[in-house]
Amino acid sequence: MQGLAPFIPTETKIRYLQSLLAVGFDTLDFGSFVSPKAIPQMADTALVLEGLDLSATKTKLLAIIANARGARDAASHAQIRYLGYPFSISETFQLRNTNATIEESLTRVSDILEIANQSNKEVVIYISMGFGNPYGDPWNVDIVLQWVYKLMEMGVRIFSLSDTIGVSSPDNIHYLFESLIPALPQIEFGAHLHTTPTTWQEKIHAAYVSGCRRFDGALKGYGGCPMAREELTGNMPMENMVRYFEPLGAIPDIQLPRLDHALSLVSSVFPHAE
């Protein structure tokens, strides 16, 4: 929702998110405690949270935050389990996304971890531009590993390797996850992959056979990061991932009829979704 200019009514957001809470997903990234000037669409996140009925779901809530103030706002809500922070290994994107350098972002991570520890929350660090960037900033697998190890030493235990612009390939997906997962069994690694309509399956397969068991997606692949660049490939379509994982017995809690219901609501939330 975050990249849409027309404001989605709070009631519409609540209805759509409530349908997702019924499906059986492990975690729902439901909103952001960020500057309303930067992301106006997320200005009503606290109101949305108040409107959600969590009594019949096991799905945990994740909120995106961009600094300590956002972390404190999110941490004040008992319903939220995870604080998600986008840590970019591209200096250009870190400035665009959170108005901070990488060094400043490290300080923010330290503050966020302290707030999370005090409020019984968990921190999810998204390694943004984890598979490359369009800005000419240095990137290679060793740089990714360097930052993961540094953040792990600070206390981070959950990472989502993020392909914000859809440049990942089966080869670098394999290499990253096969380098990290066996070496750091105490750490949970996830895949936040963007994709074109024809490459989603090879990317998911590469991550899955490399040991990844945490995957992000969005119904019909709609959305993206408005701070990345003008032309984005889509988010990973959640319904495609369900189709891939279901025969493997990897998603026993997913209720397919409820997923179909959530899919039927997408066009009422995202007018241009097919």
Contact criterion met (CB below 8 Å) for 128 and 165: no
Annotated catalytic residue, options 83, 225, 238, 242: 225
Q: Please tell me the predicted confidence (pLDDT) of residue 227.
A: 43
Q: Please tell me the predicted confidence (pLDDT) of residue 97.
A: 79
Closest CA to 106 of 162, 62, 159, 150: 150
Q: Are strands 188-195 and 214-215 parallel, antiparallel or unpaired?
A: parallel
Residue 225 annotated as catalytic? yes
Q: Which fold has domain 10-269?
A: TIM Barrel (3.20.20)
Instruction: Specify burial of residue 224 (Cβ count, 10 A radius: 0-12, 13-18, 19+).
Output: buried
Please provide residue 122's backbone torsions phi and psi, each rounded to the nearest 5 degrees: -115, 145
Q: Please tell me the predicted confidence (pLDDT) of residue 226.
A: 45
- pLDDT digit string (tens) for the chain, length 274 residues: 988 889 999 999 999 999 999 999 999 999 999 999 989 999 999 999 999 999 999 999 999 999 999 999 999 999 999 999 999 999 998 898 788 899 999 999 999 999 999 999 999 999 999 998 888 899 888 999 999 999 999 999 999 999 978 889 999 999 999 999 999 999 999 999 998 889 999 999 999 999 999 999 999 988 755 444 444 457 899 999 999 999 999 999 999 999 999 999 999 998 765 5
C-alpha span between 210 and 206 (Å, rounded): 6
Sketch the domain layout of the chain as residue ranges: 10-269
C-alpha span between 85 and 29 (Å, rounded): 12
Q: Please tell me the predicted confidence (pLDDT) of residue 5.
A: 86
C-alpha span between 106 and 91 (Å, rounded): 12
SS3 readout for 63-109 = EEECCHHHHHHHHCCCCEEEEEEEEECCHHHHHHHHCCCHHHHHHHH
> Does the pTM exceed 0.85?
yes
Give the contacts of 78 (CB within 8 A, at least 6 positions apart).
Answer: none
**Crossing angle between the packed helical segments 238-245 and 200-209, to the nearest 10 degrees:** 50
Q: Please tell me the predicted confidence (pLDDT) of residue 134.
A: 84
Pinpoint the alpha helices (H) of the chain: 10-21, 45-51, 68-75, 91-98, 102-119, 141-154, 170-180, 200-209, 238-245, 256-269
C-alpha span between 271 and 103 (Å, rounded): 39
Q: Please tell me the predicted confidence (pLDDT) of residue 273.
A: 52
